[in-house]
Structure 1
Amino acid sequence: MTDIALEESLVQARERLMNALERAKRPFDSAALLAVSKTKPASMVRQAWQHGQREFGENYLQEALEKQAELADLDGIVWHFIGPLQSNKTRAAAENFAWVHSVDRLKIATRLSEQRPTHLPPLNICLQVNISREASKSGVLPEEAVTLAKEVAAMPHLVLRGLMAIPAPANNLEEQRTPFAALRQLLADLQAALPDAPLDTLSMGMSDDLEAAVLEGATLVRLGTAIFGARTTR
């Protein structure tokens, strides 16, 4: 993808988000784009940064660490880890990211808290919820989320910010909205159970269902293909 094409894709993605927020009658600053750059080279991340993008999501840890090293000169870049996280890789995530969206069990959260360097701010955490109850998907079950949230919120080097989900594909807008509405309600349940926690984040919505997610309150929408083009196979 050329620099001009990437700039155009970013402009279109931002317009799409603004249009969705307008339709939802929400403030234009109430949701942000998370540019998902998995399988894409660091040079494309640099191009997106040059066009004003600051929040980037990565799914694969080793790939992300290589990009971070190459892009260490970029000011203001915020790295989000959004992929499955194995316990033997929590240290690298704790040391190199500002956010982890894919915490789905106590063991992972405990290791992230213990391994977060003390000179860094607390690590922002989203619990990944298996909102569609798919056997192939990671995530805590909805009925177990409040218990896990209470445990994570008490950890010293983590800040529980909200929830993340990747619902099953749906055929139309109304069907897409259903799991997002369930995740929004679950966040409200967490806010009631943990009134002192800064629970302000719904990480939901991707290239195919951004509009439905924004209608149901998404604050971070994760766009990959819509910004960087079709992904290459790893």
Structure 2
Amino acid sequence: MLSTRLRYISDCLPSGVRLLAVSKGQPVTSIRSLAEIGQCDFGESRLQEASPKLNALQEFKNLRWHFIGRLQSNKVRSVVKSFQFIHSVDSFSLAERISRISGEEKCSPMIMLQVKFREDPTKGGFSPQQLLDEWLKLNTLPNLKLVGLMTMVPINLDCEDRRNVFRDCRALADQLNLPDCSMGMSSDWKEALQCGATWLRVGSALFGDDKNHVISHTDITKSD
């Protein structure tokens, strides 16, 4: 049951750590069921899929929508208008575009900067050194609230290697005085939690393992 899985995960979270329900691939009925029992944060990675869900759930005024997929430049305006959080800002040029369009739309989205701590051709992101080199420029961009870092571990890493990635992410966030780390998914959220995550992106462990609605590392990085 959704309520049982939500309660189990929520009971594991200390103060200051939040659950992001990865609702990509899930029907509106499942999202509604979680919203009705108090889940407020939902993550989507495809604008085309997300838009009808946002429209269908407008009666829940306290919902916060997070964009977690790879963001194409031609989708920035629509994402900025619909999502309060963007977890996947993987370059200065994308941040600059979001900043400009956010100003035009008179909004200030919460931004997680995506960092790649291990080589992985399937994922984008700043390298740690690149982020440090561009940090001052990023901080000059208006209309953005830089609140944290986001990372995803390569799927072939063992448990200790995953922990090392999570620790590296937390250390870099602390170095930059950023409060949040968006890291950890259904298969490794407990490890991420132990290493300093403040947002856990959980899909199948929350919604269930229905083969039609499984959220995977591959799914979360795909774009429209």
Give me the TM-score of the superposition, normalised by structure 1. Answer: 0.85
Q: Classify the secondary structure of the residue corresponding to 2:135.
A: helix
Structure 1, unpaired ranges of 5+: 19-27, 192-198
Q: Give 1:11's aligned residue.
A: 7
Q: For residues 140-179 of structure 1, give each alpha carbon's deviation from its aligned partner in whole angstroms, at most 9, with x where no partner exists.
A: 111101233332222111010110000113333x332110
Q: Give 2:165's aligned residue.
A: 179
User: Cα offset for 1:119?
Assistant: 6.9
Tell whether 2:127 aligns with 1:161: no
Q: Give 1:229's aligned residue.
A: 208
Tell whether 2:183 aligns with 1:204: yes
Moved over 6 A (4+): none
Mapped contact 2:71–2:88 kept (Cα < 8 A): yes
Q: Give 1:25's aligned residue.
A: none
Q: 2:15 aligns with which of 8, 29, 45?
A: 29
In the alignment, the residues of structure 1 paired with residue 205 and residue 103 of structure 2 have an alpha-carbon distance, to the nearest angstrom, of: 34
Tell whether 2:55 aligns with 1:69: yes
Mapped contact 1:91–1:115 kept (Cα < 8 A): yes
What letter is aligned with 1:141? S
What letter is aligned with 2:127? L
* RMSD over aligned Cα atoms: 1.7
Q: Percent identity?
A: 35
What letter is aligned with 2:140? A
In the alignment, the residues of structure 2 paired with residue 82 and residue 98 of structure 1 have an alpha-carbon distance, to the nearest angstrom, of: 11
In the alignment, the residues of structure 1 paired with residue 174 and residue 77 of structure 2 have an alpha-carbon distance, to the nearest angstrom, of: 31
Q: Give 1:127's aligned residue.
A: 113
Q: 1:49 aligns with which of 3, 18, 35?
A: 35
Q: Give 1:23's aligned residue.
A: none
Closer, same or farther: CA 29–118 of 1 in aligned 2, 3 Å: farther
Structure 2, unpaired ranges of 5+: 214-218, 220-224
In the alignment, the residues of structure 1 paired with residue 25 and residue 75 of structure 2 have an alpha-carbon distance, to the nearest angstrom, of: 19
In the alignment, the residues of structure 1 paired with residue 88 and residue 46 of structure 2 have an alpha-carbon distance, to the nearest angstrom, of: 12
Q: Give 2:80's aligned residue.
A: 94
Tell whether 2:185 aligns with 1:189: no
What letter is aligned with 1:148? E
In the alignment, the residues of structure 2 paired with residue 95 and residue 107 of structure 1 have an alpha-carbon distance, to the nearest angstrom, of: 19
Q: Classify the secondary structure of the residue corresponding to 2:19.
A: strand
Mapped contact 2:150–2:182 kept (Cα < 8 A): yes
In the alignment, the residues of structure 1 paired with residue 162 and residue 100 of structure 2 have an alpha-carbon distance, to the nearest angstrom, of: 37
User: Cα offset for 1:61?
Assistant: 1.3
Number of equivalent positions? 212
In the alignment, the residues of structure 2 paired with residue 117 and residue 96 of structure 1 have an alpha-carbon distance, to the nearest angstrom, of: 14
Q: 1:215 aligns with which of 194, 204, 207?
A: 194
User: Cα offset for 1:121?
Assistant: 4.5
In the alignment, the residues of structure 2 paired with residue 109 and residue 117 of structure 1 have an alpha-carbon distance, to the nearest angstrom, of: 12
Q: For residues 86-105 of structure 1, give each alpha carbon's deviation from its aligned partner in whole angstroms, at most 9, with x where no partner exists.
A: 10111111111111010011
Q: Classify the secondary structure of the residue corresponding to 2:59.
A: coil
Q: Classify the secondary structure of the residue corresponding to 2:31.
A: helix
Q: For residues 156-214 of structure 1, give each alpha carbon's deviation from its aligned partner in whole angstroms, at most 9, with x where no partner exists.
A: 11010110000113333x332110111111112222xxxxxxx2110011111112111
